[in-house]
Chains A and B, each alone.
Chain A
Amino acid sequence: MKPKRRTAAGLALSALLAASPAAYAACDAGPGVLRGETSKVALAFRTTPPVIKVGELFSLRAEVCPQAGTRVSGLKVDASMPAHKHGMNYQPRVRQTGPGSYAATGLMFHMPGRWQFTFDVETPAGRERIHVDYTAE
């Protein structure tokens, strides 16, 4: 009986947390932070190095912040150049580093110009797609 109650309380607490502004802090804007959102999730990320160099591999760390009632089960990261109709020549690898936190390595923008990140946030209800533009120089 007791353990079950704790779980229920825990769930209620995390729902509360998810709904409270505090839970969004990780996805807030800030220096060097890029972000995007849908009605169900917000996502914020930083790249290393902070300014992406054409032709150099880079990595990123992303935080995913769901709205109340949404649970995040995974993240996919990709990027393309919409005007040139091509993607990257390298396949990033994404790993989860904590609840809602992900690290992606092996990204590369091989041409200068407008690139678009595509983040697919996986939730039990389906995929939430977030696009974030970036101009590489």
Chain B
Amino acid sequence: MRRTAALIAAALIATGAAAQQHAGLSPLAASPEELRNIQRHGPWPQPVPRDPSNRVSGKAEAIALGRALFFDPRLSPRADLSCASCHLPERTLTDGRERAQGGGPAKPRLDRNTPGLWNVAQGRWFGWDGGSDSLWSFTPRPILHPDEMGASPAHVARLLRDDANLACRYAQAFGRAVPPEADAETALVDAAKALAAYLETLVSGKSAFDEFREALARGDAAAAARYPADARRGLSLFAGKGLCSVCHFGPNFSNGEFHNIGMPHMVEPGRVDPGRHGGIRRVRADKYNRLGAYSDDATRTSGSRTLHLTENHGNYGQFKVPSLRNVALTAPYMHDGRLATLREVVRHYSELDIDRLHQDGDALLKPLRLSDAESEDLVAFLRTLTSRGFPDLNPVTGPCKPQGQR
């Protein structure tokens, strides 16, 4: 009897159907196809490649300057917002709000949810609409936007020049003094490049899922058995009939592209968020893009994606596929934070309203009609994507020491 049950379970696994974790079944059991699908979500952590469009990418002195700027509210002329006011270290570098809250007396509600910034350098497009093609070219957006930090290039140049500590760090990072007022834009771009160098260092550690994946790869049954059974079943759904990993692809659980999963995209009555449609226009018009004069990549090869970008009618209402690493810590969800819990996200995919999916929405998406137990399993799996450790984010920056001193 038990043997039969085990055989049936094994057959289910072999056909790639809901792989039932079963008493007596090896914790290593998986069909070759499932095994391959699971292995594709690693290894982790991934190396962070140097960005050729940013000459200070990876440079310690620039990382130090970027770190100082990230936590400095004086970057906004009202001194009321730093990057860390919305990307809070204690909240996995997001803010827990549905939509971000801007600066100034009005504290306007912005259009979109604040994404966490851990592992952000794994992306290729930045912002929910992918309106920026590099980390550094994204950064002027919050700095300059009147509803966010509301700064001008001149303000940024002045801050860098007038603060002895920042001026010293700037000189160490860029090998020259802060550009004069007349060239404030260069100072802004440099600040953006230093911030990007800092953001590149935000890499989170291994999760329970990574440990399971590695145990599977080495055939270590004892280690694999430590992975919770519900998460294991959820993983089979995720990489199997749920088709989640088709979009949430690879080690960072994102293919880096844009899809329409049928989320409403009304910002307020009468105004919609065009998503990728707007993002393509934005990145093409962006003077800071990888093809523009401010890129440090003389060959412009790192701008190939931007060069080859094409618009199609499906772009309307598409948003960037978010990474799912640490997703249990970054509620609420989606580009406008309209889903409060992972349970609600799973319900969305389970009950998907086909009519609401744009006509050109992904034909791949079908309502999954998951049972309650299956939904719980999927959520349990998503929870195992939380890193066991995050490097310490210490907002306190000591005084800048002249080069050569320690």
Contacts and interface: CB of A to CB of B under 8 A. Distances in A.
Interface residues of B, number: 23
A110 B255 CA distance: 6
Given A55-B249, A83-B364, A110 B308 contact: no
Contacts of B78: none
Contacts of B312: 87, 89
B257 A84 contact: no
Interface string A59-103: 000000000000000000000000111111111110000000000
A57 interface: yes
Contacts of A111: 246-247, 249, 255, 257, 364
Given A90-B310, A112-B40, 20 more contacts: A54-B249, A55-B250, A55-B255, A57-B304, A57-B308, A83-B364, A86-B363, A87-B312, A88-B310, A89-B257, A89-B258, A89-B309, A90-B305, A90-B308, A91-B308, A106-B304, A110-B256, A111-B255, A112-B246, A113-B246
A57 B364 CA distance: 22
A118 interface: no
B250 to A, nearest CB: 7
A54 B308 contact: no
A9 B59 CA distance: 65
B275 to A, nearest CB: 13
Contacts of A84: 362-364
Contact of A54 (B36, B250, B305, B310): B250
B142 interface: no
Contacts of B258: 89
Nearest to A57: B304
Interface in A36-64: 54-55, 57
Interface of B: 36, 40, 245-247, 249-250, 255-258, 304-305, 307-310, 312, 314, 360, 362-364
A112 B307 CA distance: 23
A83 B363 CA distance: 7
A87 B40 CA distance: 23
Given A57-B305, A105-B308, A86 B249 contact: no
Nearest to B363: A85
A103 B10 CA distance: 47
Nearest to A54: B249
Contacts of A92: 308
Contact of A89 (B245, B304, B310, B362): B310
26 contacts: A54-B249, A54-B250, A55-B249, A55-B250, A55-B256, A55-B257, A83-B363, A84-B362, A84-B363, A84-B364, A89-B310, A92-B308, A93-B308, A105-B304, A106-B304, A106-B307, A106-B308, A108-B305, A111-B246, A111-B247, A111-B249, A111-B255, A111-B364, A112-B40, A112-B245, A137-B36
Q: List the 3 closest A-B pairs by CB distance, nearest first.
A: A106-B308, A91-B310, A90-B308
B257 A110 contact: yes
Contacts of A108: 305, 308
Nearest to B306: A90
A56 to B, nearest CB: 10
A89 B308 CA distance: 8
Interface of A: 54-55, 57, 83-93, 105-106, 108, 110-113, 137
Contacts of A87: 312
Contacts of A110: 255-257
B239 to A, nearest CB: 11
Nearest to B37: A112
Contacts of A54: 249-250, 255
A86 B255 contact: no
Contacts of B310: 88-91
A119 B314 CA distance: 23
A90 B255 contact: no
A135 B25 CA distance: 32
Contacts of A93: 308
A113 B246 CA distance: 8
A108 B124 CA distance: 13
B278 to A, nearest CB: 15
A93 B245 CA distance: 30
Contacts of B40: 112, 137
B267 to A, nearest CB: 24
Nearest to A89: B257
A86 B365 CA distance: 13
Contacts of B362: 84, 86
Contacts of B305: 57, 90, 108
Contacts of B246: 111-113
Contacts of B309: 89-91
A54 B308 CA distance: 16
Contacts of A83: 363-364
B245 to A, nearest CB: 8
Contact of A112 (B249, B308, B363): B249
Contacts of A137: 36, 40
Contacts of B307: 106
